[in-house]
Chain A
Amino acid sequence: MIRLQLEKFRIPLLEPLDLAVAAGRWIGLRGPSGSGKTMLLRAIADLDPHGGRASLDGTACDQIQPPLWRRQVAYLAAESAWWFDRVGPHLEEVPRKWLEVLGFGPEVMDWPVRRLSSGERQRLALLRMLANRPKVLLLDEPTANLDRDSMEAVERLLADYGQRRRPAVIWVGHDPEQLGRVCSSVYAISGGRLVEAA
């Protein structure tokens, strides 16, 4: 079953592209900085204007209310943003078990956001997004700020989520070894085109 489909999808830096991602399939995406990877993810999440057509399980983006689309087609930015003073109110829907998998105890809810390290922010932002139970994950360098142990924990958690929910995943990253490990196929952006990497 095709979960995420892009047809003649147009954003400023790239040529129109077609892409179909089946449920449960993980796609890696790499390319030099500024080549349009982030812009592509943002446009798929409908955070930026775009041309062409995007559809989720066969329903076109413009047939779905924007908040509902974004809850299901979830974009995780490389830099997380927070608006309450403490962690807790951001993470109300997050199961305690997920927190444990990523090494957080229940006391994390009381922590002030401004005292979080960049790695803690990144892991908590991932949990905050997963709490919506999205069907498509658009991950922009989700482990960039993490040490080896945290990275492995994040990969385990995502793999577990993938098994249960069968999301379509687009994972933007710079580490070819990691992309090869977690993704079933890897694309690169080169010259404004999406090409399958060897």
Chain B
Amino acid sequence: MTIISLSAFDLGLAAGLIVLLAVISIVMRLGLERQLLVAALRTTVQLLLIGIVLKALFAAAGAGWIALMALVMLAAAGREVSARQQRRFSGWWRAGIGTVAMLISSYTVTIFALVVVIGADPWYRPQYAVPLLGMLLGNTMNGIAIGLDRLTSAAVDQRAVIETRLALGQSWRQAVEDVSRASIRSGLIPIINSMMVAGLVSLPGMMTGQILGGNPPMEAVKYQILIMFLIAGGTGLGTMAAVWMGARRLFDHRQRLRIDRLETR
């Protein structure tokens, strides 16, 4: 089976949908037309750029370039996590906690998949390494952002409970354990839900892409199952690491709850 290549004209036809939406938005005064066009434009430009980067990367395949790419992706994801927080840790911790948690979880899980499961040669072969890391970062980012957001807002809401527990002689760990547990749980629920409905309600994007790209469905399905497990593992470990670090940071060396280490925006 050959791939039907898309021309610029084909994409232009699809872009007509965006223009249509924008027109409706103007007529109905939704006020979304500007954002819609900017978002569509950003998608086009960002994806074209990454296409050029990937093309060059696949041709050169130098380990140094791939490492640089991985770092840029990590930094972008770390920024995104802190942008999604209602209350954030001040200073270096703002992006630091999420970034370190993603570094621990996404990188280890990706390397595990590349070396142990897939066995690509060399193990950092960009056709495998870059998309895998991208999918893992994108998904662990969600879990970590939700978990941290929940942790900090619950710490503020339940300040009286946490401080009462401290005053009664509980350690910081005991005093915050209910909050930590709930935060980890809410970070993990989305990925559990998407494993539940995979194939029933939604055909996962990666699998759809592989099938459209001409791969046999069963190959695409096996990769999708692998990806789901990797994402679940990465999200779980990443959320736990982030919530643990965040909870630790909420208390000082004398185990006092330090809400003043958070800033609201």
Contacts and interface: CB of A to CB of B under 8 A. Distances in A.
* A-B interaction: yes
Interface of A: 45-49, 62, 66-68, 70-71, 74-77, 79-83, 128-129, 132
A83 B252 CA distance: 22
A80 B169 contact: no
Given A82-B161, A83-B161, A74 B255 contact: no
Nearest to B162: A81
B164 A70 contact: no
Contact of A47 (B161, B167, B170, B178): B167
Contacts of A67: 166, 169-171, 255
Given A66-B166, A80-B164, 17 more contacts: A45-B167, A46-B254, A46-B256, A47-B163, A47-B166, A49-B254, A62-B254, A66-B256, A67-B166, A74-B168, A77-B163, A79-B160, A81-B161, A81-B164, A83-B161, A128-B168, A132-B168
B166 A70 contact: yes
Contacts of A79: 160
A77 B164 contact: yes
B40 to A, nearest CB: 48
Contacts of A48: 256
Interface of B: 160-161, 163-171, 178, 252, 254-257
A62 B170 CA distance: 17
B252 A49 contact: yes
15 contacts: A46-B254, A47-B163, A47-B166, A47-B256, A66-B254, A66-B256, A67-B170, A67-B171, A70-B166, A70-B168, A71-B169, A77-B160, A82-B161, A83-B161, A83-B164
B164 to A, nearest CB: 4
Contact of B169 (A68, A77, A81): A68
A70 B167 contact: yes
Contacts of A129: 167-168
